[in-house]
């Protein structure tokens, strides 16, 4: 049975995490994408001004996240996926920052993932093609990182999920790491074979794919069963807006400019049985506080609509 989920950012707070998880459940979701990346923001990483959240020991982190774990359980929400802070490598960044990301943040993220009994963690590939000259060489560096954490993943029963990303040229967003489904499939198979375990899978981000004109159906059918996790959100094809699906139109006919039909067809063709998870946190900060629950319920309803399409014979 296909489930629906949503990211916890802008819903679950550290003071009373149980309230946020209840809200998620009331909206109609049964799963949550735990926004671990919210504890070490990418803007701060790029500016080398890291907070010291991940200085805490694993047991301290487990203590910190115990209310979250209990809150989710009490609400009947499964934490099915989470997001490792990103980037995990800053090109031309300070060595101590990159060492910290690799040696502290990544392993502790894995530990938190295991503690929350979450089966999937999304990791970002390194953005190095400009410097190294090609996506292949860029991937070699990402693969070194994957090889660093894959043994942990295997031991903990977690699947790392690489995600299709974008990069920027001026204000034009273009293909970043992991936008080639054929290459991704080959790499996932090769690495899983090496570890004799499903340590690597794929997270398909609809918004990122839409920004770079990827054909959803073709991409998803190429990935097939390697697709483990989704980041569902919409945009105008120009900016990474993380909005509600079906929001954007570009012509007077006012039809959705994102290929949601292709998305559903693709998932149906590969027999996707995972979680339709929405990465739509900005929606919740855009709507007035009093409408937050309604907005969330609406997103959940869209999830049900998608689920119906994916399950249809």
Partner 1 sequence: MHISCGTQGIVNSKHPGQGIKDIALAGFQNIFLDLSVVCPVWELENVGKSAQKRGNGASWIFEHPEEMRSRGGFLADQSAKGGLKISVSMAPYLNYSTKRDDLNNLLERLTQESVMVSAQAHCRYLIVRPLTAGIGNADLREVNRAYYLRLAERAKKYDIQLLLENQCRNHNGHLIRGFCADGRQAAQWVDTLNEAAGEERFGFCMDVGACNLCGQNIYDFVLSLEGRMKAVILRDCDGSSDSALLPFTSVAQGQSQTDWLNLIRGLREIAFDGELILDFHDTAVAFSPLLKPELIHMAKSVADYFAWQIGMESLLKKYPSRVLFGAGNMCRNYLKCYGEKYPPLFTCDNNGKLWGSVFEGLEVKNPQVLSALPKDCAVFICNIYYREIEEQLRQMGIENPIEFFNDEYMPSFYFDRLENR
- Residues at the contact surface with partner 1, assessed by CB under 8 A: 91-92, 129-135, 137, 166, 169-175, 179-180, 182, 210-215, 218, 237-238, 249-251, 253, 255-259
For partner 1, the closer of residues 52 and 255 by Cβ is 255
Between strands 159-163 and 120-123, the pairing is parallel
CB of 210 to partner 1, least distance (A): 8
Token code pair at residue 120: 């999937």
For partner 1, the closer of residues 109 and 258 by Cβ is 258
CB of 46 to partner 1, least distance (A): 14
Q: Is the peptide bond before 87 cis (omega within 30 degrees of 0)?
A: yes
Alpha carbons within 13 A on the beta-carbon side of 230: 29
For partner 1, the closer of residues 120 and 216 by Cβ is 216
DSSP classification of residue 89: S
Helix, strand, or coil (residue 117): coil
Rg, the chain, Cα only:
19
CB of 270 to partner 1, least distance (A): 16
For partner 1, the closer of residues 1 and 92 by Cβ is 92
Place of tokens 């699947």: 159
Cβ-contact 225, 200 below 8 angstroms: no
CA distance 66 to 116: 8
For partner 1, the closer of residues 65 and 263 by Cβ is 263
CB of 213 to partner 1, least distance (A): 3
Q: Which helix (H) or strand (E) holds 173?
A: strand 172-175
CB of 251 to partner 1, least distance (A): 4
């Amino acid at each position: 049975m296909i489930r629906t989920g949503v990211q916890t950012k802008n819903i679950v707070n550290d003071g009373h995490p149980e309230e946020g998880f209840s809200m998620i459940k009331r909206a109609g979701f049964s799963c949550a994408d735990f926004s671990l990346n919210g504890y070490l923001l990418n803007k701060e990483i790029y500016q080398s001004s890291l907070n010291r959240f991940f200085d805490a020991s694993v047991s301290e982190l487990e203590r910190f996240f115990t209310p979250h774990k209990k809150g989710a359980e009490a609400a009947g929400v499964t934490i099915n996926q989470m997001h490792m802070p990103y980037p995990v490598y800053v090109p031309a960044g300070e060595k101590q920052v990159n060492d910290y990301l690799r040696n502290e943040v990544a392993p502790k993220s894995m530990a938190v993932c295991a503690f929350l009994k979450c089966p999937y963690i999304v990791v970002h590939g390194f953005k190095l093609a400009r410097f190294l000259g090609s996506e292949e060489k860029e991937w070699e560096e990402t693969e070194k990182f994957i090889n660093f954490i894959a043994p942990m993943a295997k031991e903990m029963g977690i699947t790392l999920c690489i995600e299709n990303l974008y990069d920027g040229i001026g204000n034009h967003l273009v293909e970043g790491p992991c936008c080639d489904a054929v290459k991704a499939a080959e790499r996932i198979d090769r690495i899983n074979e090496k570890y004799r375990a499903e340590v690597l899978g794929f997270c398909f981000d609809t918004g990122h794919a839409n920004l770079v004109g990827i054909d959803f159906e073709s991409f998803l059918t190429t990935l097939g069963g390697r697709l483990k996790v989704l980041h569902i959100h919409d945009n105008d094809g120009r900016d990474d807006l993380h909005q509600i699906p079906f929001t954007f139109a570009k012509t007077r006919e006012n039809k959705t400019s994102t290929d949601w039909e292709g998305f559903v067809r693709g998932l149906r063709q590969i027999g996707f049985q995972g979680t339709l998870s929405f990465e739509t946190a900005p929606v919740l900060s855009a709507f007035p506080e009093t409408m937050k629950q309604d907005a969330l319920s609406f997103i959940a309803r869209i999830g049900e609509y998608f689920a119906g399409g994916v399950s249809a014979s």
